[in-house]
Chain A
């Protein structure tokens, strides 16, 4: 190393400079100003919103897009010959195209608007599932799943006499991929797996999971509710068969979400709900169903919701999902380090890769009490089982406290969390 020492130091300096240049420029404090709700104080303190895995706040541009739609363009879609209906229809179609681009789907007809991830999973269970799953077959889920990616499959299995099987997690909160391999069998009709655990923040190695399922010919549904706000997803390249996410966890409105599915599946699936818009022609003898995506969108859709979601995606893309992800990774790292250093604080789940979420306990204080004390310090977190009771049971816990991050969170928010946790410890010492 002697002769090359100088060169290597120069090289290091060069690569540092490159890293600085390449490092995403992201100003969270500035982005925070785009969110009117975050300006308020709660219990006399600045609001520190760390419940983003439950729902995110909405930027001004999303709120304005929804207002503008109602003030200027509101009409029903695909129906009127008048100008407003044409405008509403066009904006609804544009929203679908934006969603398709965002998730890397070349064909916008593969994007179905639904109420949210829950409805998307139920749609797949009730159409794809009901035609594919029979007595003695198996549906595979994982211990990391949210109830909304368990219960629809459980209902399907009960109806069909099929068996729900479960990929276990390790103590760290990672999926046991060897167990997955063993569970993928000749009767497995579908694997339903989350992109990111809403309770522990585990990022699943989707590429590998999907490859293993594909090798056995098993279709895969990916629950992107927690993943979409933090990680890019490339639907066409992913190898997945279905991808679902919710608008409201991605800085968009509630009541709108997306199901993406491969066209050959969507074409083969029977419709789910019947009604207007999903038909081409109706007689009392026979109804001819509409083409994709309308076949799965019975009734007047949430037009404002779709437009709001498109505005949210535009906002996120404007900041850059990569830049947001890098910023959130930094905050997660800070939080994990800070909480690990606190006396009496225990992190729940130490996954290999983490996005968005840190679950923790403080001594033997119940998470509800942690949540109440933090709230009085202005810090909003979730306390409970996070709609993942089987996972809690696996970890031997009734509940955890969960801090979950969004693009507008800052170092100061992490500091406020730590101060709040010290107050919890003091109160319940």
Chain B
């Protein structure tokens, strides 16, 4: 049996409680909102893209410890990357949260590796992926609210 502390690692709890890059973003060029209809949570992501690179990204909204921590770590990781690079990171992250560290080349995930316990909690995978869906939707130029369903 996995321990609760695998899911709620110290770093996750810390980011959940004191999320980084939280609040409105001035001069945002791309925005999207992620909705989790299961719990009614909303994570709104705003990014500023310059010369094809994400220069800044911030998020707002309400969510559980996992979705807030995921958004917090994600916004740090996304800065300085192109949308294509972000898609690549997301692919690995998604494998991590659905299949576990063994399947995901956890070493290359850096800070994101703290979400290695999520795969033991299938109902929480959507919480961890929600901010990523919103960010990728924003960068695709969507702007429409997207849902985890």
Contact = CB atoms under 8 A, between A and B. Distances in A.
Interface of A: 43-44, 365-369, 372-373, 376, 383-385, 389, 392, 398-399, 427-428
A428 B8 CA distance: 9
A383 B7 contact: no
A43 B41 CA distance: 27
Contact of A368 (B1, B4, B17, B39): B39
Interface residues of B, number: 20
Given A369-B64, A369-B66, A428 B39 contact: no
B124 A385 contact: no
B121 A372 contact: yes
Contacts of A376: 4
B13 A368 contact: no
B124 A428 contact: no
B124 A372 contact: yes
A392 B8 contact: no
Contacts of A389: 40
B contacts with A: majority SS? mixed
A399 B7 contact: no
Interface string B36-78: 0011111000000000000000000011111000000000000
Contacts of B123: 372
B28 to A, nearest CB: 24
Contacts of A384: 38-40
Interface of B: 1, 4, 7-8, 13, 17, 38-42, 62-66, 121, 123-124, 127
Nearest to B7: A372
A47 B127 CA distance: 25
Given A398-B62, A399-B39, 5 more contacts: A367-B39, A385-B39, A385-B40, A398-B39, A428-B17
Nearest to B39: A384
A38 B4 CA distance: 23
A396 B1 CA distance: 37
B4 A398 contact: no
Contacts of A368: 39, 41, 64, 66, 124, 127
B22 to A, nearest CB: 14
A399 B36 CA distance: 12
25 contacts: A365-B65, A366-B39, A366-B65, A367-B64, A368-B124, A369-B8, A369-B64, A369-B66, A372-B4, A372-B121, A372-B123, A373-B4, A376-B4, A383-B39, A385-B39, A385-B40, A389-B40, A398-B39, A398-B40, A398-B42, A399-B39, A399-B40, A427-B8, A428-B13, A428-B17
Given A376-B4, A427-B8, A428-B13, A369 B39 contact: no
A393 to B, nearest CB: 9
A365 B123 CA distance: 17
Nearest to A367: B39
A392 B4 contact: no
A198 to B, nearest CB: 15
A366 B63 contact: yes
A226 B56 CA distance: 48
A384 B64 CA distance: 11
Nearest to B40: A385
Give the top 4 A-B pairs by smallest Cβ distance, nearest first: A366-B64, A368-B64, A385-B40, A384-B39
Contacts of B121: 372
Among B39, B62, B121, max chain A CB count under 10 A is at B39
A365 B4 CA distance: 15
A43 B63 CA distance: 25
Among A43, A369, A392, max chain B CB count under 10 A is at A369
Contacts of A427: 4, 8, 13
Contact of B1 (A44, A385, A399): A44
A365 B42 CA distance: 16
A84 B40 CA distance: 49
A43 B4 CA distance: 11
Nearest to B62: A398
A192 to B, nearest CB: 22
A372 B127 CA distance: 12
Contacts of B41: 366, 368, 398-399
Nearest to A383: B39
Contacts of B4: 372-373, 376, 427
Contacts of B65: 365-366, 369, 428
Nearest to A43: B1
Among A366, A376, A385, A392, max chain B CB count under 10 A is at A366
